[in-house]
Chain A
């Protein structure tokens, strides 16, 4: 079953055609990696898919709810870690307080942050903040989770902890769409990979297909990235 169906998506900023007829689907339990050079439209695609931007034409069909993890976390600085996670489930989804608290604590434990529930975001490292923001997104019980370069704002030595969290989610069959510049990670965590260039999907397929030696454009892009 497709959880997400994007059809003929187009988006222009001024006279800059950023997305030119993008179509793809994401199945339940699938991890879709999106790679491509800077400015190719990856973030714009995610922003359209999450309603932060409105497409000029095309359709986006969901069979479920979604969450988004931002590059720079966007935690609420005046809320404690726990409150960041429970506020929207309580206020927006109006769920039962005890159930939400249990869920939040379980997520914090999973993220290795059980002892941080009363901390404020400024007291945490970037990696810890990103783990809180992933917990915040998961607490809403989304059917799909989008990530826009979740490790790009982190010091290199902290990217590993976030990639591990995402790998664990993949192992739990969480449906995810992940924009990333971490090529090795994209290659081994994804079920399908999209390589975007200049607002079009240049290649789509399994990691082995997209990263195949014969795929010159992807090879050239990876070469430029050096991993």
Chain B
């Protein structure tokens, strides 16, 4: 199979991989921030529930979580799989990735928020900023600067983790490469997939480094 053909064959998978990647980030970053607030809440029941959720998300394989979310409606609620929307597979992947990554991001954000000195809040309070103004104007950018390196690590892991969608047969990049490799009896599709992930990560790392540089104008 020519390289052009191979790339054509793989391109629909690339698209799905990119979709998983971007949808996961778009939803898990803000959700992670909310979860981190829950994790730091003064309301103990909420704090404990969030703590358990985070520890399950971080303590079990994402692959298993994806399977539970996909097969859960059938095994737990006896929902007939044929009654589920046709792209439920894809939704299950997104849901799984989002709640998993939100847990990781929440812990990162919590560390970033807790590292902001109390004096920043006190100065803001004496100057009359509201709680929301204090968070969005004074605290948030400092937190973002603090957490950017850890977030970069997670985002790079996410690029590679997208391949886990194959366990519930969502045909992303890796699923297709696997199918092609066995049909053609050739390593080439795997190599092409490897190059794709590598280039993807290279771009991600490049962009994240640009963001870090952008925040170099101040030091905490």
Contact = CB atoms under 8 A, between A and B. Distances in A.
B211 to A, nearest CB: 14
Nearest to A120: B218
A92 B119 CA distance: 19
A120 B138 contact: no
Given A87-B137, A92-B128, A92-B129, A76 B123 contact: yes
Interface residues of B, number: 21
Interface string B189-220: 00000000000000000000000000001111
A92 B127 contact: yes
Interface string B112-128: 00000101101111111
Contacts of B142: 77-78
Interface residues of A, number: 23
Contacts, number: 53
Q: Classify the secondary structure of B's interface with A.
A: helix
B133 interface: yes
Interface in A88-138: 88, 91-93, 120-122, 136
28 contacts: A50-B126, A51-B126, A52-B125, A66-B126, A67-B127, A70-B123, A72-B119, A74-B117, A74-B119, A74-B120, A74-B123, A76-B120, A76-B124, A77-B142, A77-B219, A77-B220, A78-B141, A78-B145, A78-B218, A88-B127, A92-B129, A92-B133, A120-B217, A120-B218, A120-B219, A121-B218, A122-B218, A140-B128
Given A74-B123, A76-B124, A77-B219, 6 more contacts: A50-B126, A52-B125, A77-B142, A92-B133, A122-B218, A122-B219
Interface of B: 117, 119-120, 122-129, 133, 137-138, 141-142, 145, 217-220
